[in-house]
Amino acid sequence: MTTLEAPDVKPQTRLAEVLDLQRAAFLRDGAPSLNERRDDLKRLIAAIKENVDAIATAISADFGSRSKQESIVADTWPVVAGARNAAKHLPGWMKPKSVGVGIELLPGRGRILYQPLGVVGIVSPWNYPFQLAIAPLVAALAAGNRVMLKPSELTPRTSEFLAGFLAKLFPEEKVATVLGGPEVGAAFSALPFDHLFYTGSTEIGRRVMRAAAENLTPVTLELGGKSPCIINADADLAAACRSIAFGKLLNAGQTCIAPDYALVPKPMLGDFVAGLEAAIRALYPTLRDNPDYTSIVNARHYARIARLVDEARERGVRVVEINPAAEKLAPEARKFAPTLVVDPPADLAVMREEIFGPVLPILSYDAFDDAIAFVNARPRPLALYYFGVGTAGRDRVLARTTSGGAAVNETLLHVAAENLPFGGVGASGMGAYHGEAGFRTFSHAKSVFLQSRLNATNLLHPPYGRAADFMRKFLVGR
């Protein structure tokens, strides 16, 4: 564990020392073997299983209230599943790949070797503070790298837990956890890593990319944005409402791929609002003392969400607050009631900003292509959700829109499919991980040309004469 919050410690100096330590170890030891990588992953899996309750307790303490079951489903299970998947498939991922070189270069052969990049930096966010720190760590270790991790200062108990947890499993020269606030984060992003992986807001992502550019450090940015739900006229409305309510209210909406707004055919608007109300009441019959309903992470984020709803009310937009037991929700407890904002104008903040809370704008549309055009007129989202029975509408939406990922007749669960790359596009991010995609992200694909002892390379060398004319006709004219 490396703590840089003391005033007499310069972040840049201590961070550089840890980076130098890891880089020297990487150069000394070289790429770890398959067995070493598997051992690292299996040790990590075992430790997570032993600490499931401690992880959930730390996260709940940071949020004020968060369900143990929710933390298992959203923070620990995906990491264990990802590590198991990596350990199982590593032999195939690591295997050199033979490729053709073309008839002109025969009898030469081509091969791609996958090598670890070296020292990787990971900056993780607060909303899923265990999963979004450890999942990229799994991919980086599977690819054979050393890792420096900077978890969020907004979830200090989980970050402290992570530091102690990882220090027991790995020496600092393999995995080092760096604790600190924004100053440390800025210094961390400016280090000359071999790869920098950031999960968080688009605004901070831009700063991270600017800092990395000074060192020509390649980056993966896992950002967010406004992920739409498109409901077609043939959708199973009750099933769609259940799925959207679950996806929106998991972690109280503090999820990068949470449904951000819904597009509904105008004749179905009333039924959709009523269906969502019913689905939410079934999921959360009470709010105030319900351990299943998560608090907003801090007072600043609570106030931001409240401002979004207040602005809609002030503009005369229909706002539906769903508080099944009609409880008084004290702001200091930060339990924000599920709220629907019906047909808000596009200039409202709730339609311009990523919500990251239990508030769902619902917009009605006249023609199906109007919904597609609405999505395409905005920055490309991290996720897109489509609800409909037939294949024509589904295929049209998938073909005509661009998003980081998509799910049909479901929300969120595509993130749990390890064989599907997870990542954004455009404003919602760049690069991907999970499964083999994560291994490739943290690997260098080295191209190797293997020349045969008997070859015709001399025909390509000067002095050029009749042989060169023959080769020109062969190479260009065929």
Structure tokens at 100: 């053709």
Rounded CA gap, 158 and 164, in Å? Answer: 10
pLDDT at residue 9, rounded to an integer: 55
* Alpha carbons 110 and 326: distance in angstroms, whole number: 69
Residue 468: both structure tokens together: 């060169």
H-assigned helices in 170-298: 182-189, 202-213, 237-249, 269-283
| The predicted structure's pLDDT at residue 259 | 98
- In this prediction, residue 478 carries a pLDDT of 59
Tokens representing 441? 């992200």
Cα torsion for 57, 61, 63, 65, to the nearest 10°?
70
Residue labelled with tokens 């004749």 = 267
SS3 132: helix
Dist CA 185 CA 177 (whole Å): 12
Rounded CA-CA distance 410/406 in Å is 9
Q: What is the pLDDT of residues 33-57, one digit of tens each?
A: 999 999 999 999 999 999 999 999 9
Q: Which portions of the chain are predicted below pLDDT 50?
A: 6-8
pLDDT of residue 13: 85
CB neighbour list of residue 423: distance below 8 Å, 6 or more residues apart: 220, 222, 404, 405, 429, 430, 431, 432, 433, 437
* Beta carbons within 10 angstroms of residue 207's beta carbon: 16
CA–CA separation, 244 vs 112, rounded Å?
43
229 DSSP β-pair partners = 262, 385
Parallel/antiparallel/unpaired status of strands 119-123 and 146-150: parallel
- Asked if residue 162 lies in contact with residue 2, where contact means CB atoms within 8 angstroms, the answer is no
Burial class, 197, CB count within 10 angstroms (exposed 0-12 / middle 13-18 / buried 19+) = buried
pLDDT value of residue 453: 87
pLDDT per residue as tens digits for the range 249-262: 999 999 999 999 99
In 262-419, which ranges are continuous DSSP H helix?
269-283, 299-314, 349-352, 368-376, 391-400
Query: pLDDT value at position 468?
Result: 73
DSSP 153: T
Show which residues are catalytic: 222, 256
Strands 339-342, 359-365: pairing kind: parallel
